[in-house]
């Protein structure tokens, strides 16, 4: 039995998850980290409690990017364009990081 010939060749290729998600960033200088989603506020967007967010500090967000902001130790997940225009955060919120990926473990 075994794998078809085409599938065998695909198993020989290695993939770096870091490079796939973050691009060609040095792990030594990277400011990325993982956060776990703790509430249901983004369920309509397909992000559920228990999902993991790979986020990067120092990235400049573009309109439509998901961002992490904080105030007094509380973190919120929000779309950047909404944050800057139609539903601004209170002034005591600080932009912390840009979300690069959402991972769900089954």
Tell whether 15 is covered by a domain.
no
Confidence band for 28, pLDDT divided at 50, 70 and 90? very low
pTM score of the predicted model:
0.69
Neighbours of 84 (CB within 10 A): 15
CATH number, domain with residue 43: 2.10.109.10
Is residue 55 assigned to a domain? yes
Band of residue 94 on the pLDDT scale cut at 50, 70, 90: confident
The verdict on residue 65 lying in a domain is yes
Tell me, yes or no, whether 37 lies in a domain: yes
Six token digits for residue 61: 């967000």
- Residue 90: inside a domain, yes or no? yes
Burial annotation 63-73 (CB, 10 A radius, 16+ → b, else e): eebbbbbeeee
**Looking at the 3D structure of the chain, how many domains does it have?**
1
Domain presence at residue 95: yes
Residues 34-70: pLDDT tens digits?
899 998 989 999 999 999 998 988 888 888 889 998 8
Q: What is the pLDDT of residue 82?
A: 52
Is residue 16 assigned to a domain?
A: no
Domain span at residue 77?
25-103
Tokens of 31: 């400011």
Q: Kindly compute the dihedral angle of the four CA atoms of residues 23, 44, 79, 76, in this order, to the nearest 10 degrees.
A: -100
Instruction: Give CA separation, 55 vs 29, 58, 69, in Å.
Output: 14, 10, 11
């Amino acid at each position: 039995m075994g794998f078809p010939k085409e599938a065998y060749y695909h198993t020989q290729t290695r993939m770096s998850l870091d490079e796939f998600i973050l691009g060609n960033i040095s792990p030594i200088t990277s400011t990325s980290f993982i956060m776990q989603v703790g509430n249901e506020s983004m369920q309509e967007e397909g992000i559920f409690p228990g999902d993991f967010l790979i986020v990067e500090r120092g990235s400049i967000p573009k309109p439509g990017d998901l961002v992490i902001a904080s105030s007094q130790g509380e973190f919120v997940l929000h779309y950047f364009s909404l944050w800057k225009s139609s539903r601004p955060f209170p002034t005591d919120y600080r932009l912390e990081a840009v979300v690069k990926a959402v991972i769900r473990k089954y």
